[in-house]
Structure 1
Amino acid sequence: MRKLTFGMNVSLDGYIAAPGDDLGWSEPSDELFQFWSDRVGATGLALYGRRLWQTMNSHWPTADQQPGATPAHIEYARRWRAMPKAVFSTTLTTVDGNARLVTEDAVAEITRLKSEDGGPMDIGGATLAATAVRAGLIDEYAIVTHPALVGGGTPFFPALDSWVSLRLVEVRPFPDGVLLTRYETRR
């Protein structure tokens, strides 16, 4: 069975994006950027919601060809293009690159994908991840907390009908007061 991880940059007050989808508070250090790049390199399948897919796909397919691209950005762009992706959307009609479109029930499809052989899966996109969280499909949370209070926006965790018990498996500091905490879901 494949492991499903939900990991994102999060403000100290629990948001993945400030009002207006502002992400300026989460600019990564070189070390944190490398952490995310290594995650992409190790991901067997990335599950994207429509909005996150459109954001990522508007930049990373050609980021390594842009003037001034750093070696780290070139590496990330190549890893991102190579990483298999499933894009969940009821409004898109096509996706490109190393991605396939999923238009059917997200919970059923994620459950099916988890039962397959293959490398670990990451999920991203607030709406898609919230669906997986509520369905109890997340095996691990990788929360990269930034020392910023944004006061609102898109929350990392959705409202839940019941609590979920977690076990801390890693704590790792990054520059600028950023802290990774990884939790496994207790089953």
Structure 2
Amino acid sequence: MRKLIYGMNVTLDGYIAAAGDDIGWSGPSEELFGWWLDQERASGLTLYGRKLWETMSVYWPTADQQPDANPLEIEFARNWRDSPKVVFSSTLDGDLGWNTRLVAGDAVAEIARLKDEDGAPMTIGGATLAAAAMQAGLIDEYVLATHPVLVGGGTPFFTAMDSWVNLDLMETRTFPGGVVMTRYEVRR
């Protein structure tokens, strides 16, 4: 059975994007960017909601070809293109490219099916998709890279839950700029 990991950059007040989908506060240090790259390399499959997919697919397919791309960005772009991805959307259609499969049906059922397979851990991104997986109890691990900024509103990392979810702290790490990564495992 695969593990499902939900991890993102988040503000101290709990948002993955400020109002207007502004993520300008989230520019990672080289060390944090390298850490995220390592997480992506360890993932066997990445699950995206439509909105995050559209953000990622605008930049990362050709990011390694930009004249100012640094070695970590080049490696992230190559890994992103080559890694298997599933995008959940009822509005997108056709071939999305870059080793990506589109699912228009029941996201929770498909995520549960993918978790039942053998393989490396899966990561999930996108607030709406992650919220559905949280509500269904499918997430096994939460990773927050908390940036020292308060934005006052926007897209929250966590959704409202119907019941408590007890977590065990697995790891903490501090990065330049005062970013603190915390990794929690769901207590089953």
TM-score scaled by length of structure 2: 0.98
Instruction: Report the alpha carbon displacement of residue 79 of structure 1 after superposing the two structures with TM.
Output: 0.8
Residue equivalent to 1:51: 51
Within 5 A, what are the aligned runs for 1:1-187?
1-94=1-94, 95-187=96-188
What is the count of residue pairs matched by the alignment? 187
Please give the per-residue CA displacement for 1:24-44, whole angstroms capped at 9, x wherever unaligned. Answer: 111100000001111111110
Counterparts of 2:126 and 2:143, CA distance in 1: 14
Instruction: Report the alpha carbon displacement of residue 68 of structure 1 after superposing the two structures with TM.
Output: 1.4
Instruction: Report the alpha carbon displacement of residue 49 of structure 1 after superposing the two structures with TM.
Output: 0.2
TM-score scaled by length of structure 1: 0.99
Counterparts of 1:122 and 1:42, CA distance in 2: 9
Instruction: Report the alpha carbon displacement of residue 67 of structure 1 after superposing the two structures with TM.
Output: 1.3
> What's the secondary structure of 2:59's corresponding residue?
coil
Counterparts of 2:161 and 2:68, CA distance in 1: 44
Instruction: Report the alpha carbon displacement of residue 161 of structure 1 after superposing the two structures with TM.
Output: 0.9
Counterparts of 2:13 and 2:4, CA distance in 1: 24
Counterparts of 1:173 and 1:97, CA distance in 2: 33
Moved over 4 A (4+): none
Instruction: Report the alpha carbon displacement of residue 58 of structure 1 after superposing the two structures with TM.
Output: 0.5
Instruction: Report the alpha carbon displacement of residue 181 of structure 1 after superposing the two structures with TM.
Output: 0.4
Please give the per-residue CA displacement for 1:159-185, whole angstroms capped at 9, x wherever unaligned. Answer: 111110000000111011100000000
Counterparts of 2:134 and 2:62, CA distance in 1: 32
Counterparts of 2:50 and 2:176, CA distance in 1: 31
Instruction: Report the alpha carbon displacement of residue 97 of structure 1 after superposing the two structures with TM.
Output: 1.3
Instruction: Report the alpha carbon displacement of residue 92 of structure 1 after superposing the two structures with TM.
Output: 0.5
Please give the per-residue CA displacement for 1:10-32, whole angstroms capped at 9, x wherever unaligned. Answer: 00000000001111111100000
**Mean Cα displacement is larger for which, 63-72 or 109-118?**
63-72
**Mean Cα displacement is larger for which, 63-72 or 138-147?**
63-72
> How much identity, in percent, do the aligned residues show?
68
Please give the per-residue CA displacement for 1:134-167, whole angstroms capped at 9, x wherever unaligned. Answer: 1000000001100000000000000111110000
Please give the per-residue CA displacement for 1:53-105, whole angstroms capped at 9, x wherever unaligned. Answer: 01101000010011111111101101111110000001101211110001110
RMSD: 0.6
Aligned partner of 1:68: which letter?
D
